[in-house]
Amino acid sequence: MLLFNIIFSCFIMLFTSCGSDFNELDANAYVLTAEQDAASEQWQEYLFNHLSKRSAKKGLISRSEDDEHIAANQKQIHVEIAPDLNNDYCIQHTKEKLHLRVKTKAIATWMSYQLIESLGQVKKVINTDDLPPAIIKFNNQCKDFDFVYREPHYAPNTNIEYAALLGTNNLDSEWGIWGHNITRVLQDAPGIWAEVDGKITQEQYCFSSDSLYNQLKVYIQDNFSDKPEEGMKFMIAPNDNLLSCTCDRCQATGNTDKNAAPAVVLLINKLAKEFRQHQFFTIRYHSVNEPPAYEFEDNAGLFFSTIELPKITDLKDNSSFQSLIDEIEAWKSKTKTIYLWDYASNFDDYLTPLPSLSVLKAQLQGFKKEGVEGVFLNASGYDYSSFDDLKTYVAAALMINTELDIHTLTRAYFKKLYPKSHQLLADYYLQMEDDFAKKAKPYSLYAGFSEVKTSYFDADKFLSFNKALQSILPKTKGFEREALEKLLAAFRYTSLQIAYNKGTGTGGAFEVVNQQVRPNHAANTLIKQLKKDVDHGIIKRYKEADGELNDYLAQWTSYSEKLQKPNQLRPEQLLTALSNENDVLDKSVLADGVLGFSNDFHQGWLTANKQLTLVLEAGALSQKKTMQLRFLKNNRHKYAAPSRVAILQAGKPVFQTDISDVREGESVYTLSIPLDGLKADVVSEIKISSSNAQLSRLGLDEVQVFN
């Protein structure tokens, strides 16, 4: 059989090179046949049922056990699942017969929908309105997918059936343990916790522990003994920190205080030997950082995190990319299976449009060239993000063939599924991709709106696009209507962000009424619309951590309760803001007249670590009586009130206070400073510092002065 496959593949390539290619699918009728084996016959049955359900013409689709009774005006479609095929799939196409051969059942499912959608283009009686465009042509070819493991982790791909249609992997159906989640299956027991600096800590595990191994073994036996013969996948990864166990047993495996890889790899090798039908992985991240002295089992492998790789299209002379490749090379002698845990989202803003596909294509091409076999693309996951349906489709296609054109894929997708708005959507999205690629700068994986608008987002183009899209919405129906309503709900968040950042200026969200700053009518309208979207379940979250839109909206609706007086400090009077390393910080939020949102350190806060210095010009405090400084408190993100605030004039302290904030449950600390004893005609330096080793970050939203 292997010899036949080699000969068959060579024949196809010869056939194609001779120019006798044929890709015309149109025919009067179609007869499905299959190789005489159970798997191929199941594929025939699957394809027949799905084509028949979609066909409005009786007799268009039929099936036969052989090819002897096929009429001259019928096209035979012959399917075959051949596990020993040299390629992932092969297509042989003549006028009379289309022969499809694939290596696995999963590829057969993908190929089925490629064929169904393509047939729908030539036979309008076959309804494929709900299917994304096919990405292959049915001409003579034998091809391999560019990556063995392909998972674009956007919300559409979390649907198991849709993932199968796209030919992608799905962690919910394929993984018994994923990510840093062994803690979900382990029970507290003697010996499972790590020893760090001579002390036992429950922040990390001891991976040489017999108890830990036995618990994992029992969990797999009890829950996955009846899974498919190709098995499940398990990620055995340390907790998400830098701690490494250095007990005697772990040190004997090769562990150091900075590298837990030896004990981790020995554990997954032990599990891999016990369960040969399954695959076991760990992740090169944090405490797993140097290759051990021994090799992985054949059914074990490694995920590499690309968290340090800038999201940029130009990989030539890119030192970060080269460092990643050098690390991968160092691990290649230990395992034949290397996948990447890649990233494709701004995890602090899922809803503002992000041009990520050009970067993805360039980096996938680079990964493929270096021998990477799989990619898990960590994106917005189960949460909605703007254009996530397009990105799922294009990312899936690129993981199959990195040479596909983004413009072609994007326009085809929108034209198929957004018949009324496709031109507008494609023009806007692709222009955004092209504009960002020209900048040759990376986008941040964790960026607030102030950074977003200087990185990849053009507010004016967005507002124009948003207005045009709203005018098209009434003309749409079905999937297009539902998808656009969700997209426009996301855009209401972005519109509010734009208005927030414009403050009390033109197009801003705020107005001053009776000497109080409050959201204006336009902002309140958007707030009410977005609240309605949330209540109706159209959209729920705007970022990965603490991202509930209800919490965001609560900051807007309670803003008037702050009874904020207009800030009398003009922006130009705040000369500079410096970090503890004398880096110049963006000071614009400190005198924009708008207070920060306490639920989000990106929303109106200037952030510094341990120390912050502000310089006010001479005259800034003239005829002013009080200064107010508001500091963010957030234990999770290490923000707290400062330990000391001092004001210096001519190098001498004129005000100083030590702060001992013991109030729990409050999200903001406000310091009021009397300005009576300060000179108005000299430069003032405000020195803010923290001595809190655990909560050392400073967040300041506004330097407010009042008369």
Residue 299, pLDDT above cutoff 60: yes
Residue 14, pLDDT above cutoff 90: no
* 693 vs 700, residue with greater confidence: 700
Which one, of 420, 424, 401, 400, lies nearest residue 410 by Cα? 424
Do 296 and 251 form a contact (C-beta atoms < 8 A)? no
Q: How far apart (Å, rounded) are the C-alpha atoms in residues 378 and 342?
A: 6
Q: How far apart (Å, rounded) are the C-alpha atoms in residues 283 and 304?
A: 6
Sequence-separated (6 or more) residues with CB below 8 Å from residue 412? 133
Residue 22, pLDDT above cutoff 80: no
Which one, of 215, 216, 264, lies nearest residue 239 by Cα? 264
Distance between first and last Cα of the chain: 90
Q: How far apart (Å, rounded) are the C-alpha atoms in residues 117 and 51?
A: 10
Q: How far apart (Å, rounded) are the C-alpha atoms in residues 23 and 528?
A: 53
Mean pLDDT across the stretch 65-80? 88
Residue 316 has a pLDDT of 83
Mean pLDDT across the stretch 479-492? 98
Residue 618, pLDDT above cutoff 80: yes
| b/e sequence 127-164, b meaning 16+ C-beta within 10 Å | ebeebbbbbbebebbbeebbbebbbbbbbbbbeeebbb
Residue 15, pLDDT above cutoff 50: no
Per-residue pLDDT of 387-435, as tens digits, reads: 999 999 999 999 999 999 999 999 999 999 999 999 999 999 999 999 9
The whole-angstrom distance between residue 573's C-alpha and the CA centroid of its chain comes to 40
Mean pLDDT across the stretch 141-149? 98
Q: How far apart (Å, rounded) are the C-alpha atoms in residues 19 and 22?
A: 9
Residue 85, pLDDT above cutoff 60: yes
Do 294 and 334 form a contact (C-beta atoms < 8 A)? yes
For residue 418, the SS3 value is coil
Which one, of 637, 647, 636, lies nearest residue 680 by Cα? 647
Mean pLDDT across the stretch 522-542? 98
Per-residue pLDDT of 383-397, as tens digits, reads: 999 999 999 999 999
Place of tokens 């969200």: 509
Residue 661 has a pLDDT of 80
Instruction: Tell me the β-bridge partners of 233.
Output: 175, 279
DSSP state of 387: T
Which one, of 461, 473, 509, lies nearest residue 353 by Cα? 461
Instruction: Tell me the β-bridge partners of 264.
Output: none
Residue 8, pLDDT above cutoff 60: no
Residue 226, pLDDT above cutoff 80: no
Residue 550, pLDDT above cutoff 90: yes
Residue 16, pLDDT above cutoff 60: no
Token pair recorded at residue 428 = 């806007």
Where is average pLDDT lowest: 135-149, 160-174, 647-661? 647-661
Residue 141, pLDDT above cutoff 90: yes
- Between helix 422-439 and helix 459-472 the angle, nearest 10°, is 170
Per-residue pLDDT of 563-603, as tens digits, reads: 999 999 999 999 999 998 888 999 999 999 999 999 999 99
Residue 9 has a pLDDT of 45
Neighbour-count burial of 407, counting CB atoms closer than 10 A to its CB (0-12 exposed, 13-18 middle, 19+ buried)? middle
Token pair recorded at residue 149 = 């493991």
Instruction: Tell me the β-bridge partners of 200.
Output: 195
Q: What predicted TM-score, i.e. pTM, was given to this entire model?
A: 0.93
Residue 73 has a pLDDT of 86
**478 Rama sector, left if φ>0, alpha if ψ -120 to 50, beta otherwise:** left
Per-residue pLDDT of 659-672, as tens digits, reads: 988 788 889 999 99
Angle at 525 between CA 504 and CA 425, to 5 degrees: 95
Q: How far apart (Å, rounded) are the C-alpha atoms in residues 13 and 625?
A: 85
Neighbour-count burial of 365, counting CB atoms closer than 10 A to its CB (0-12 exposed, 13-18 middle, 19+ buried)? middle
For the chain, give the number of residues.
707
Task: Give me the chain's average pLDDT, please.
Answer: 94
**pLDDT band for position 227 (50/70/90)?**
low
Residue 18 has a pLDDT of 39
Q: Are strands 29-34 and 61-63 parallel, antiparallel or unpaired?
A: parallel
Token pair recorded at residue 391 = 């990105």
**pLDDT band for position 228 (50/70/90)?**
low
Which one, of 305, 296, 344, lies nearest residue 324 by Cα? 305
Residue 245 has a pLDDT of 97
Mean pLDDT across the stretch 631-645? 94
Residue 225 has a pLDDT of 78
Residue 16 CB neighbours (<10 A): 18
Residue 12 has a pLDDT of 43
Angle at 317 between CA 311 and CA 318, to 5 degrees: 25
Percent of the chain surpassing pLDDT 90: 90
Residue 452 has a pLDDT of 95
DSSP H or E run through 13: helix 2-17
Q: How far apart (Å, rounded) are the C-alpha atoms in residues 321 and 270?
A: 33
Token pair recorded at residue 155 = 């919300």
Token pair recorded at residue 328 = 């991968």
Q: Which whole-number Å values give the CA distances from 117 to 39, 124, 130, 134, 475, in the listed order?
A: 22, 10, 9, 6, 25
**376 Rama sector, left if φ>0, alpha if ψ -120 to 50, beta otherwise:** beta
Residue 285, pLDDT above cutoff 50: yes
